[in-house]
Structure 1
Amino acid sequence: MRENPHLEFQRLPSYSPQLNPIERFWKKLRRRATHNRLFDTLADLKASIRASLCYFQAVRHKVKSLIEGRPKRKTSK
């Protein structure tokens, strides 16, 4: 830092999925494909994931808004 005074040190959170845009999509995909469901076989799980991906392919505007949108801030009370 002394050698490069123009550099600035910033601490980053160890894990912050809310700041990673693709994490919002993965969360929606997991909810749609697997939430509260028990799969008898791996093939059933794969079929559910494929169906969910096909759904999101049909509604690309929703995916785009998830990825491009700003994360919601949690407010403390």
Structure 2
Amino acid sequence: MQNWTYDSKIELIHLPTYSPNLNLIERLWRLMRKKVMDYNYYDTFEKFRTNVLAFFQHIDNSIDELDHEVALKVSSFSSKFSRSIFKN
């Protein structure tokens, strides 16, 4: 990969091996935990499972909150590194 990008306008940026703040799926799991698990107690696994499935079946109800979470984290990352992504 480094040989291919050497002559291109693309600069590789190496991210830490574990960077949940940059991983989109981690933000989805965080939102699911907030909506389903925080301040809730399920006395059976089936009730917990039903609520997790309901969250994903009605994810469109949380799309604004998810968009905000993703945009906030991505914009802070991209503003920091945007100048180094493409070589001039």
User: Fold conserved (TM > 0.5)?
Assistant: yes
Distance 1:70 1:64 in 2: 8
Alignment TM-score, normalising by the size of structure 1:
0.60
Distance 1:57 1:9 in 2: 34
Query: Is 1:39 the equivalent of 2:56?
Result: no
Query: Is 1:49 the equivalent of 2:52?
Result: yes
* Alignment correspondent of 2:86: none
RMSD of the alignment, in Å? 3.1
Distance 1:28 1:46 in 2: 16
Distance 2:31 2:37 in 1: 10
Letter of the 1:13 partner, please give it.
Answer: P
Count of residue pairs brought into register by the alignment: 70
CA spacing shift, 1:9–1:25, aligned 2, 3 Å: closer
Residue number among 15, 19, 43 corresponding to 2:18 in the alignment:
15
Give unmatched runs, 5+ long, in structure 1: none
The structure, 1 or 2, with the larger RCO (C-alpha pairs under 8 Å, 6+ apart) is 2
Alignment TM-score, normalising by the size of structure 2:
0.54
Segments of 4+ in structure 1 off by > 6 A? none
Identity score, percent: 25
Give unmatched runs, 5+ long, in structure 2: 78-88
Would you tell me which structure has more helix in proportion to its own residues? 2
Q: CA deviation at 1:35?
A: 1.0
